[in-house]
Amino acid sequence: MVLAWSAAVLAVLMVGTWVVSLLVHDASIVDIAWGPSFVAVATVSALVGQGASDRRILLLGLVAIWGVRLATYLAWRNLGHGEDYRYQAMRRHHGARFGLISLVVVFGLQGALVWVVSLPVQLAAGAAEPAELGPLAAAGVVLWLVGLVFEAVGDAQLARFKRDPASAGQVLDRGLWRYTRHPNYFGDFCVWWGIFLVAAEAAPARWGIVGPVVMSVLLLRVSGVAMLEKTIASRRPGYVDYVQRTSTFIPRPPRRPSPG
């Protein structure tokens, strides 16, 4: 029941967002809809699910805080700056067909990914046992909080860096960015593994491990780290040195320069 309702709500949400994208001629709004889509699934799961109420409410709270923060940040960063270059390239490639194609390969695909990644939340919503939250849920909340801090602080530090005219062509290697080249993506990683731990206290939700695994693959191999690092070195000459001393993903102290 929860899985079907979530799929239906996502379908309506993504089709609606697609229609808006046609009206404003900007498919980038799908990125802003990413966080709220998860909030919609968590809300449906909390309302329709018949499982332990404390777990449903906690999961809704964790997803809502993460999703609203991300959507607010992306709206502030992206709106008014035109369509993202990725969608511009797709628009040029497909021409007049882009509108219909984007429904499937942009909005439809994103809706499917949201449904898969949020499987732990959906499956936990239908589990009645255990009725009370335990140590695994507590560990999940701690991991989620670490992730939220890394993501929010990393985004704020990057935004401040970009606002400074002196930063043009430079590399951000201060704050959290001193310890990992992608603190915001590492934060997302922790958030969704933390949510999985909270959900996994209910045995049926453990099947939802595919959710954080898919999110991890997206962050590391598809649309996150891998995509960004393909082009950033050519735009920021100091990035090669930064790579040599700074961890790709998991935070750690920077490497010391080699002698000589």
Check whether 61 has a pLDDT greater than 60. yes
Check whether 256 has a pLDDT greater than 80. no
Per cent of the chain over pLDDT 70 is: 98
CA-based end-to-end distance of the chain? 65
- Give pLDDT tens digits for 211-227: 999 999 999 988 878 77
- Give pLDDT tens digits for 23-47: 999 999 999 999 999 999 999 999 9
SS (HEC) of 92-122: HHHHHHHHHHHHHHHHHHHHHHHHHHCHHHH
- Give pLDDT tens digits for 101-120: 999 999 999 999 999 999 99
The conformation of residue 255, written as its DSSP 8-state character, comes to: P
Check whether 260 has a pLDDT greater than 70. no
Q: Residue 234: what pLDDT?
A: 66
Pairwise CA distance, residues 148 & 140, whole Å = 12
Mean pLDDT, all residues of the chain:
93
Q: Within 10 Å of residue 184's Cβ, how many Cβ atoms?
A: 24
